Chains A and B, each alone.
Chain A
Amino acid sequence: MTTNGAVEHSFYDQVLEATPNGERLRQCLQCGDCSGICPFGYLMIHPPSRMIAQLRADRFEKVLETDTVWMCVSCYACTAVCPIQIPLTPGLMARTKEELILAGNVPTELQSALENSQRYGNPLGESPRKRADWTTGILPEVKILGKVKQKVDVLWFVGDYPSYHPRVQLITKALTKVLNALGVDFGILGPEESSDGDSQRLAGERGLFEMLAEKNGMAFSKYQFNEIITTDPHAYNAIKNEYPGLDISYPIRHYTEFLADRLDQLKPLLKHEVKARVAFHDPCYLGRANGIFDQPRAILQAIPGLELVEMSHNHKNSLCCGGGGGGMWLDGFQWEKAHVRLSEWRVSEALAAGAEILAVACPYESPRFEDAAKTVQGAGQLKVSDIAELLVEAMGN
């Protein structure tokens, strides 16, 4: 067996170990659907189907020599469209990125995010002690489980950007208002919460993901609660689909699922009109990856005065904002290659659909779309709001 054969052998093994149905990699038809639907496929020297071709031709080192796999934003479009249902995103793409990281080929921005995640439990490099600082001044006081040591109904897994990023904190505070208005008995981990690790996993750092998951698992086990809800679809995806493989298993829902269940309770609280045409952006890890399309729309349609419009890419073929799978930390790198941002593309779609508000449900999205709206022609008036923020507006708070 040649040395390349050795790489191929262990590469397959790794994919098989790490991903359910990984063996489907061998059945690829080379139809090219994945490469076609990939939003940055046109910029990759080796888009997904070509990566598989190189793998089969025993020439995988050709893929490892290039850095274009860092254009992948782990949006799941390829995985969703593959006729053989090969787990391309979590299997092939993440594993290839892992090889590059092991070889030391990591774009600088991503390196900092990964190092920060290791050291501080969040990619932003903020002190873990300050993770619950956003709760200061909020009444009723948000229950931080380590302090109150009470059993709660719901453990709200807040997330990195919702905890630390100034723009996203507004969404966190909005969701707090909604939960309180519904009388939900919830608590947060605060400083004991670490990054869910999903984006780090998809960026190729499996070891880091496991380390973060273990920490969260230990924190969960200290407290009593009936279910976990998340602000972030990525955290939802991790805790629902990946944590059980590490023996960390809890009932888990994204906040839109949770609220959709309580629509009857919520509707009477939505007294004020939000008179606007609203386009809902299906987050990759809520929609395409986990099949949740209707619940966010049901919530939006419950808001009086709101007119829901659909962008040309919606539901299963929604366009990624560019933030996932490490994309949030590859912005500079991807910009250099593409000179266009996926978020800008999406903002143009919102305008084309006649939307006045672009509604989101993932923490990466609001900063990305707001930045994009400033540079896309004609998008100056487009508002970007998380569903939680629209609910608060309708509640009149």
Chain B
Amino acid sequence: MNQDIYVVIEHLRGQVTEISFVMLAGARELAKGLGGNVVAVLLGHNAQGLTGNPSAGSGQYLAADKVLSLDHPALADFTSDAYQKVLAALIAKDQPRAVLFGSTSIGTDLASTLSIKLGLPMVSSCRSFSADGKFVSQLCGGKIMAEGDLPGPTALITMVPGGYKAEQGQSTQSPTVTQVEVPTLETLRVTLAGYIEPESGDVDIAKEPLLVSVGRGIQNKDNIVLAEELAQALGGTVSGSRPVIDQGWLATSRLVGKSGKSVKPKVYLALGISGAPEHVEGITNSDTIIAINTDPAAPIFGVAKYGSEIDLFDLIEVLTGKVKQSKGG
């Protein structure tokens, strides 16, 4: 029985996912208070490279005190049965104070089943830990927060992003890696048949993390390119409200709202969109809405977090320039 915090690292197609770093940051918070170590648990096959140079370009290491590597061909890609069996054995043996999983397609396949199998308590949708080591979870579409003591003896926790930044879970030092024996894995009930790549045709705006959305205010088709340049600079995609699509300035697949798609980006930048209910219906799941509209009475300002009455045409190119500067500089 120890005070270590284990973090189940998630990787997909050779890349460690961002939530893994967020979890490491959270684990560090928790470990500080408890006086334990942050231990990254890496299931995979010949996956040592994942401990360092994790995501494209950053060259950062997992910010963990040590990494436990569990290597087996059946663990090369995530499948719930194999991963669950391996983790069950590890957690039962090591009995850490807590195990963090991503609240994702990978983590949620594991945590609850392990809770029943091992008879250990669990907490889901955890966003952060308070200074005194309590979990802080979000419910009901983010409208309600719940706080409580970390259950014991080992708490299984699924984490959502938002409480910590990925950089906080990255380190310039390469952690020590220990190989851990993997139990026999036979008669696995879940097997991977293959992957299907997303269509490289048109974008699915419902899955985009950043949208630069245009309304009537963009005035004509030729101005759409300004929005596209800004979107590209920000690493996002262009979407639009009804009138823009109706005029044929954007494809129907880009329509946001009642007759189109409901989107849930991190950032929804609404340019020249009034915010009629039919449109707002499609954006209420956005994390942050920023609205630019010269009409101070535009209803969009009632749902946006930030807004400006500035004319979008005065702003857009200046903004694109500054965004490019901050990235390239």
Asked whether any CB of chain B lies closer than 8 Å to the CB of A62, the reply is: no
Bound state CA distance, A164 and B281, in angstroms? Answer: 14
CA–CA, A112 and B299, complex, Å: 22
A374 adjacent to chain B (CB < 8 Å): yes
Is A367 interfacial (CB 8 A cutoff)? yes
Q: Which residues of A contact B299 (CB under 8 A)?
A: 166
**Among the listed B247, B260, B277, which residue makes an inter-chain contact with A332, where contact means beta carbons less than 8 Å apart?**
B260
> Which chain A residue lies CB-closest to B247?
A375
Pairwise interchain contact A124-B277, C-beta atoms closer than 8 A: yes
Whether, in the assembled complex, B161 has its beta carbon less than 8 Å from a beta carbon of chain A, the answer is no
Chain B CB within 8 A of A371 CB: yes
List, in ascending order, chain A residues with CB within 8 A of B281's CB: 125
Q: Roughly how many angstroms separate A88 CA and B299 CA in the complex, as a whole number? A: 40
Whether A109 sits at the interface, judged by CB under 8 Å, is yes
Distance, CA A374 to CA B246, complexed state (A) = 12
Chain B CB within 10 A, most for which of A125, A165, A166, A374: A166
* Chain B residues with CB below 8 A from A367, complex form: 276
Inter-subunit contact A374/B243 (CB<8 Å): yes
Q: CA of A124 to CA of B280 in the docked complex: distance in angstroms?
A: 12
A374 to B299 alpha-carbon distance, docked (Å): 17
Chain A proximity of B74: nearest CB distance (Å): 42
The complex places the Cα of A207 from the Cα of B246 at a distance, in Å, of: 34
Q: How large is the interface on B (under 10, 10 to 19, 20 to 34, 35 or more residues)?
A: 10 to 19
Complex: A28 Cα to B10 Cα, angstroms? 69
List the B side residues contacting A124 at CB < 8 Å. Answer: 277
Nearest CB to that of A113 among chain B residues? B258
A109 touches B259 (CB 8 A): yes
A267 to B35, CA, bound (A): 82
Is there contact, CB below 8 Å, between B258 and A112? yes
Is B266 an interface residue when CB atoms closer than 8 A count as contact? no
Q: Is the CB of B66 closer than 8 A to any CB of chain A?
A: no
Kindly state the separation between the CA atoms of A129 and B281 in the bound complex, as whole angstroms: 19
Contacts of B277 in A (CB 8 A): 124, 164-166
Q: When A166-B277, A166-B299 are in contact, do A375 and B243 touch as well, CB less than 8 Å? A: yes
Contact: B246 with A335, CB < 8 Å? yes
State A288–B49 Cα separation when bound (angstroms).
75
* Chain B 229-245 near chain A by CB (<8 Å), digits 1 or 0: 00000000000000100
Q: Interface digits, A139-169 against B, CB 8 Å rule (1 contact, 0 not)?
A: 0000000000000000000000000111000
Q: What's the least CB distance linking A380 to chain B, in Å? A: 11
CA gap between A209 and B221 in the complex, in Å: 43
Q: Which residues of B contact A (CB under 8 A)?
A: 216, 243, 246-247, 252, 258-260, 276-277, 281, 299
Supplied contacts A109-B259, A164-B277, 19 more A-B pairs, CB within 8 Å: A109-B258, A112-B258, A124-B277, A125-B281, A165-B277, A166-B299, A331-B259, A332-B258, A332-B259, A332-B260, A335-B246, A335-B259, A336-B252, A367-B276, A371-B243, A374-B216, A374-B243, A375-B246, A375-B247
